[in-house]
């Protein structure tokens, strides 16, 4: 959920943690060093956009075929579906708010 290029929104972090706990999906909260993605730029857009980096461990990511644990993949899909189902206008407004962070 953390990399060296972006600063995740605290409310979004809690939102993801709560969804993972509900589904009993384990999260690894280590900082990924030397890795960055477009989320750093996305979070600066439109007056501030909540962003978070969810990654799966994959071996040989820059080869034509990587290797991952299928359970990691399936649980990440379950987590993403739960996150998307849980988003409504009020939740998005709360996540976007900079008040009391």
CA distance 53 to 42: 11
The pTM (predicted TM-score) of the whole model is 0.81
Q: What's the chain's Rg over C-alpha atoms?
A: 15
Q: What is the pLDDT of residues 80-100, one digit of tens each?
A: 999 999 999 999 999 888 676
Q: What is the pLDDT of residues 13-63, one digit of tens each?
A: 999 999 999 999 999 887 666 666 777 778 877 777 888 888 888 899 888
Phi, psi of 83 (to 5 degrees): -60, -45
CA distance 18 to 96: 17
Q: Write down all domains in the chain, each with its CATH number in brackets.
A: 2-96 (3.40.630.10)
Distance set, CA 28 to CA 41, 48, 84 (Å):
23, 26, 20
């Amino acid at each position: 959920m953390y990399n060296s290029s972006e600063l995740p929104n605290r409310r979004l972090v809690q939102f993801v943690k709560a969804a993972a706990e509900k589904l009993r999906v384990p999260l690894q909260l280590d900082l990924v060093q030397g890795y960055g993605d477009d989320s750093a730029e996305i979070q600066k857009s439109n007056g501030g956009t909540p962003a978070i980096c969810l990654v799966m461990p994959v071996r040989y990511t820059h080869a034509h075929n990587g290797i991952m644990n299928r359970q990691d993949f399936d649980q990440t899909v379950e987590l993403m579906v739960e996150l998307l189902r849980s988003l409504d206008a009020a939740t998005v407004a709360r996540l976007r708010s900079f008040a009391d962070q």
